[in-house]
Structure 1
Amino acid sequence: MLLVHVRKYYEGVTGEEISTEQYNTLEISPVHIHKNKICHKKAILTLGEELVQHIRQNHSPVVHYAKETASGEIAAEH
């Protein structure tokens, strides 16, 4: 249900409509509790992919970095 809210929020803030044709063809939503876990997982991944594709196609990245400069280690603070 979270990704559906993210989509609605994004569309409300930006005024852009996100095309979710693949997600819509699955004919499954978070309230379809009778569907199995695999169907819901596929729907979540499909919706997430369509959201990311839309943002990548329509907006420039905020942070630019070269992949070769990325470290394999992560620093964490306590």
Structure 2
Amino acid sequence: MQKEELLHLHMLLVHIRKYYESTTGEDVTTDQYNTLRISPVHIHKNKVTHKKAILTLGNEIVQHIRTNHNPYIEYHADFSSEQIATEH
């Protein structure tokens, strides 16, 4: 994946979090993501850093939803994000 695509995906996840928070009134805690100290506008950071931020933020959003809501879709933790990303 190109760096520009990672930046777009990173921005999309940030927007998803903000949209989710605004529609549900819930705050998604993103402590691990915040400790990375990176945002989609940090274009000078390398691809690996943005990829880690994307996976961390995505994981925290999913964990929040799984913890606070009764999921209708069964989630299998035996698939890593890396494996899923490379299969598609």
TM bucket, shorter chain? 0.7 to 0.9
Bigger helix share: 2
Which segments of structure 1 move beyond 6 Å, counting only runs of 4 or more?
A: none
Unmatched 5+ stretches in structure 1: 65-78
Name 1:72's counterpart in structure 2.
none
Between the aligned residues of both structures, percent identity stands at 73
In structure 2, which of residues 49, 61, 69 is the aligned counterpart of residue 39 of structure 1?
A: 49
1:4 aligns with 2:14: yes
Select the structure of larger CA radius of gyration.
1
Number of equivalent positions = 64
Larger RCO: Structure 1 or Structure 2 (Cα < 8 Å, ≥ 6 residues apart)?
2
Q: Structure 2-normalised TM-score? A: 0.70
Say what the alpha-carbon RMSD is for the aligned residues: 1.1
- 1:56 alignment partner AA: R
Residue ranges of structure 2 left out of the alignment (5+ in a row): 1-10, 75-88
Q: Distance in 1 between matches of 2:64 and 2:56?
A: 12
